[in-house]
Amino acid sequence: MQKAPPSPPDAGDGADGTPLRVRTAWISDIHLGTPGCQAPALLDFLRDLECDTLYLVGDIVDGWQLKRSWYWPQAHNDVVQKILRKARKGTRVVFVPGNHDGFARRYVELSFGGVEVVEDCLHQTADGRMLWVTHGDLFDGIVQHARWLAHVGDAAYTLALELNRWFNRARSHFGLPYWSLSGYLKHKVKRAVSYIDDFETVLAHEARRRGAHGVVCGHIHHAEIRTIDGILYCNDGDWVESLTALVEHADGRLEIVRGGRPQLPPATAAVPAAEPEPAATV
């Protein structure tokens, strides 16, 4: 992929507290209601973010975890309030539910506090490309046809994050950087790599079938921008490990941006996030 030109000098990147001014932003897989949610880092990102449209691309609230046990610290309330405040101040906020907050699909085509709830939608970039926006779980065979296995996988992922927390506490004690077990498994275990590749291919083909130039999704917690058979595939990542978002600049360029640094929490707080891959632009 050819390297895109640099951002306009007045765009800002939010990394040093300066505003990140973009046309559109997509975030997903926040998983409010879980210890793994990196709410403080997300709040910092949202404070610096200035955009015309903000897409919430599913798994914003983790209804699966909240059914098992209630966990809702003040920082999670603050995230919700910050998003609602953006809607009140003129940002168009569009919520596309995912599998963990699938209960919200009952309210499609309604608006709550200025937040539009849609099953999926099309977004036109400033340079005229049509992007299909969907969480992606409806095209995940495991979620759709083996729901029990999806819950088993979710429990295993939660366990991996818990092991990460204790393991990285020990690494921090010896001055070592954060290392993500779940991220390692995603990239090294052949079955996991195959699952991600199959998921991306299915979404790209579906975008083509719908007449779109590309797709923006979440679901698999793996931020990426790449072209698959001539279709643009964009995943905005998550706010449990990678702390990433997808943004569209004023000229239509798309970029994965990093929202914060991993946090090593106390024993009862959130799980730290993995170092993301280098940012990509297209």
Q: How many CB atoms lie within 10 A of CB 99?
A: 22
What pLDDT does 57 receive? Answer: 98
What pLDDT does 18 receive? Answer: 80
> In this structure, which amino acid lies at residue 156?
A
What pLDDT does 113 receive? Answer: 94
* DSSP helix/strand/coil, 49: strand
Question: At residue 266, does pLDDT exceed 50?
Answer: no
Q: Which two tokens stand for residue 141?
A: 């065979």
Mean pLDDT, residues 167-186:
66
Mean pLDDT, residues 202-224:
95
Q: How many CB atoms lie within 10 A of CB 187?
A: 13
108 or 142, higher pLDDT = 108
Question: At residue 136, does pLDDT exceed 80?
Answer: yes
- The predicted-structure confidence for 52-75, as pLDDT tens digits, reads as follows 999 999 999 999 889 889 999 999
Q: Are residues 87 and 113 in contact, defined by beta-carbon separation less than 8 angstroms?
A: yes
- The predicted-structure confidence for 103-131, as pLDDT tens digits, reads as follows 999 999 999 999 999 999 999 999 999 99
Q: List, in order of start, the domains of the chain with CATH numbers.
A: 20-258 (3.60.21.10)
- What is the pTM (predicted TM-score) of this model? 0.75
Q: Please say whether the dihedral angle defined by the alpha carbons of residues 102, 108, 110 and 115, taken in this order, is positive or negative.
A: positive
Mean pLDDT, residues 136-146:
61
Question: Which residues make Cβ contacts (< 8 Å) with residue 187, sequence separation at least 6?
Answer: 193
What pLDDT does 65 receive? Answer: 86
Q: Which two tokens stand for residue 210?
A: 């719908």
Strand (E) or helix (H) holding 86: helix 74-88
Mean residue pLDDT of the chain comes to: 80
Provide the 8-state DSSP code for 119: S
Question: At residue 196, does pLDDT exceed 90?
Answer: no
User: Hey, which of 60-64, 140-144, 230-234 has the most confident mean pLDDT?
Assistant: 230-234
Question: Which residues make Cβ contacts (< 8 Å) with residue 154, sequence separation at least 6?
Answer: 64
